[in-house]
Amino acid sequence: MRKKLYLLCGLNSERKLIVDLLAILFGIGSWLGINSVYVQLPLLVGNAPEGWNLPSYLVVIIQLGNIGPILYTAALRIKSFRDSYLIIALLVLGSCAAMTTAFVYDQTVHVFGAERSVPLFITVFGLSLVGCTSSVLFMPYMGRFKGIYLITYLIGEGFSGFVPSIVALIQGVGGNGECIAVNGTDPNEPPQYTSYTPPPRFGTRPYFIVSSVILAISMVAFVLLDRLAVCRREYAAVSIGNGNNYAYEPSTPNDEETRSAAGDAATTTKGKASLDRTNYLLMMVLISVMCLFGNGFFPSIQSYSCLPYGNVAYHLTVTLSSMANPAACFLAFFVQRNSIRSIVALSAVFVPFAAYALTTAMTSPDPPLMHHVLGDILVVACWTLLVGLVSYIRLAITTLLRCEGGQTLVWVGVASQLGSLVGSILSFTLVNFTDTFQQYYPC
């Protein structure tokens, strides 16, 4: 019966659902902390002293978390250790950082003559260590399993944005800001107005407490994935060295699902799939560019693109675009082969959506179709499809390069984080030191 159900769904009947479940829960912990912060931005920007510039600060701080991958890579050259211990420590750090954020997100410190959200910056840095290091540690760790489980891990990584979005949709944003007249003492003076935004169903503190609990669940799931015998039996034919240094052994007829992830562009030589050097470098550059825009540049300007259309449009954009990530990963679950040609074509489709998002941000505080329902729909749809395309392209490249071995997945993570770092520095400079992006004031 179970095999018939698998065949009906197009799934491999030899997979273990317990490994799938644990891989998904493990993947959720990778970027859940950072995604929780992003999804909460519609509420955070209204109270933070940085205002609409807060996302640009957070993006740079998140990229500072790349010190984690650097230290990890350096440590492997000095001393061998079990990467599972480090993964557990990172997930514990993430859970503690999310819990701390729940109690310090609205506190400020006077720095360089102005109030700054320093406690929030510190806790976000802790969360960023988990996310950034997961690119070179979590995902390569899953490479030792059969290829079918890398997809389920990436689905879990996508759910790290979906789960906070569901909580945020339940939370709500209260509504769009309204101009309320403030009665003065002198009736001859013209009335003054102040902006008022209705409160959400529940505040930011319960939101981050929920995130902390989910990260703790992810840590428990990884411990089971690493220790249970039923999970170890699902390893691919690999020779595992120190850290994530492993290589695939000559394939057998049972390894067909492992090889299929390499796609049409891969060729099998002596049992090991490989890409030629030109295509290999093309994929590395392409995933770096996708992360430059998708993870570094566009998150910093999203507030300028969406907030002129109202808090509700911004809230829906953030939550639905976070849901687009797991939706793209789920779609890839049923796509058995990815070719370089299809990846390049999808990258071309990404361009017009990116251009429209950039146009709405640069024309703030008066973007196209402002105060029109069509404008709200277009900006929400544009950002949702934009994030979905970045997520799918990134996953397609990752699965294409998987059969190159564990170190290749490490380099995929390095290329991703390098692109994100360049994008965050570029956006921070444009947002905070130029007049390219202008804030909208409803009153």
Q: Which residues of 311-321 are buried (b: 16+ CB within 10 A; e: fewer)?
A: bbbbbbbbbbb
The C-alpha angle 49, 54, 60, rounded to 5 degrees, equals 135
- Listed residue (56, 72, 57, 61) closest to 125, CA to CA: 61
DSSP 264-293: TT-EEETTEEE--HHHHHHHHHHHHHHHII
The C-alpha angle 167, 170, 173, rounded to 5 degrees, equals 100
- pLDDT confidence bin for 126, thresholds 50/70/90: very high
- Average pLDDT rounded to a whole number, residues 353-382: 92
- Listed residue (431, 414, 440) closest to 59, CA to CA: 431
Does the pLDDT at position 174 exceed 70?
no
pLDDT in tens, 62-114: 888 888 888 887 887 777 777 888 999 999 999 999 999 999 998 999 888 88
Residue 204, number of CB atoms within 10 A of its CB = 18
Q: Which amino acid is at 203?
A: G
Q: Note the pLDDT of residue 107.
A: 92
Q: Note the pLDDT of residue 184.
A: 58
Does the pLDDT at position 208 exceed 90?
yes
- Average pLDDT rounded to a whole number, residues 382-398: 89
Instruction: Name the region of 48 (left: φ>0; alpha: ψ -120 to 50; beta: rest).
Output: beta
Q: Which amino acid is at 4?
A: K
SS3 405: coil
pLDDT in tens, 19-53: 999 999 999 999 899 989 988 888 888 788 988 88
- pLDDT confidence bin for 333, thresholds 50/70/90: low
Q: Residue 189: how many CA atoms within 13 Å on its side-chain side?
A: 9
Q: Note the pLDDT of residue 102.
A: 94
C-alpha separations of 136 from 10, 66, 408 in Å: 30, 10, 10
- Average pLDDT rounded to a whole number, residues 253-280: 50
For residues 156 and 23, is the Cβ–Cβ distance under 8 A?
yes
- Listed residue (67, 48, 68) closest to 58, CA to CA: 48
Q: Rounded to whole angstroms, how far apart are CA atoms 103 and 4?
A: 50
- pLDDT confidence bin for 231, thresholds 50/70/90: confident
Domains delineated in the chain: 12-184+192-248 (1.20.1250.20), 276-442 (no CATH)
- pLDDT confidence bin for 157, thresholds 50/70/90: confident
For residues 321 and 384, is the Cβ–Cβ distance under 8 A?
yes
Please state which of the ranges 2-16, 193-207, 419-433 shows the lowest mean pLDDT. Answer: 2-16
Q: Note the pLDDT of residue 237.
A: 58
| Mean confidence (pLDDT) of the chain | 81
Q: Note the pLDDT of residue 341.
A: 87
Q: Residue 250: how many CA atoms within 13 Å on its side-chain side?
A: 2
Residue 137, number of CB atoms within 10 A of its CB = 25
